Amino acid sequence: MVVVTGVLKEEIVGVFREMLPLLENGELIKRNYARGIIGGNEVVTLYGLVGKVESAMLAQAIIDKFNPRYIIHCGSAGAIHPELKIGDLVCGNVYFEHDFKSEKKVPIEASTALIEKISDVYDSINFGPIVSGDVLVSDKETKMRLYETFGAYAVDMDSAAIAKVCYQNGVEFCSLKVIVDTSEEQARIEYEQNFRKFASLPSTIISELLDKHLL
C-alpha cells in the first residue's frame, strides 16, 4: 500500500481524483481519508498534517492503521536554494529539523526507490535537502542561514517530522514539494498568490508514478 499525504486538500487532489475504483471513505484522528486503486497500487490519501506535532501524530496513526510500504508527502514549500523559483519542484533526498537545537545535525534519508521512480516520470525536479520547523521563514537572513547550515533546497513545517516517524517504523518515505514563496519578507503574500495555482502539481506527478509503476 502507498499513502499520499498533504497539509491541505488541494495538495492531494491530483492523486485523489485518479482513484478508480474508490474503495472506501473513512476517518482517522478526525481527518478524512480515501482508499482506492491507481494503476496496480492500493492507495490511501489523507490531508491535515499541519506542523511537526500533527504531522508526526498522523504519520504514526497512518502506519498503525494501514501498515503502508510507502508514504509520499505532497505539497508546497518555501525556497531556500538561491536559484529556485516559484513553481519549481523539490524532492527531498534528506530531511532535517531546522528548529531542533542539537550539536549534531542528523539527516534522515529519503527512499531511493521512490526517488528513482519520481525521476523516471518527471525530469524537471530538483533533488536536495528539505528542512522543517514550526515557523514561517520570511526573512532573507534566516533563509541564508538555513542554506549555509544544511545546504537546504526548501523549507516547510512537516516533511522532517514524517520522515522521522517513517524511519523509526521502517516505512519508505519521500516528500515532493512545489515552491510557492521565496522565504523572504514577502513570503506570506507570495504564498497567497501562488498556492492555488501550483498546489496540486506534486500529487499530479505522483498519480502518474502510481499509474506507471507498481510499488
**Residue 195 maps to which CATH number?**
3.40.50.1580
Per the structure, how many domains does the chain have? 1
- Per-residue pLDDT tens digits for 97-153: 999 887 677 899 999 999 999 999 999 999 999 999 999 999 999 999 999 999 999
What's residue 57's pLDDT? 97
For strands 89-97 and 70-79, give the pairing.
Answer: unpaired
Residue 95: per-residue pLDDT: 98
The pLDDT value recorded for residue 101 is 80
Q: In terms of DSSP bridges, do strands 22-28 and 108-109 run parallel, antiparallel, or are they unpaired?
A: unpaired
Integer Cα distance of 123 and 43 in angstroms:
24
Exposure string for 110-131, b = 16+ CB within 10 A, e = fewer = bbeebbebbeebbeebbbbbbb
Which 3 state secondary structure label does DSSP give 117?
A: helix
Residue 18's H or E segment, with its range, is none
Distance (Å, rounded) from C-alpha 147 to C-alpha 184?
13
User: What local confidence, expressed as pLDDT, does residue 195 receive?
Assistant: 97
Q: Please tell me the distance from the alpha carbon of residue 23 to that of residue 59, in angstroms, as a whole number.
A: 21
Q: Residue 129's domain spans which residues?
A: 2-212
What local confidence, expressed as pLDDT, does residue 105 receive? 79
Q: Is 61 helix (H, G, I), strand (E, B) or coil?
A: helix
Q: How far apart are CA 48 and CA 57, in angstroms?
A: 11
**What pLDDT is stored for residue 103 in this prediction?**
65
Q: What is the pTM of this model?
A: 0.96
Segments in 125-186 forming alpha helices (H) = 140-150, 159-169
Amino acid, single-letter form, for residue 31: R
The residues annotated with a catalytic role in the active site are 11, 181
**Residue 138, CA distances (Å) to 46, 49, 50, 127, 159 in order:** 28, 21, 18, 22, 18
- Which residues contact residue 59 at a Cβ distance below 8 angstroms, ignoring those fewer than 6 apart? 5, 49, 71, 161, 162, 165, 166
Q: Which residues of the chain have pLDDT under 70?
A: 103
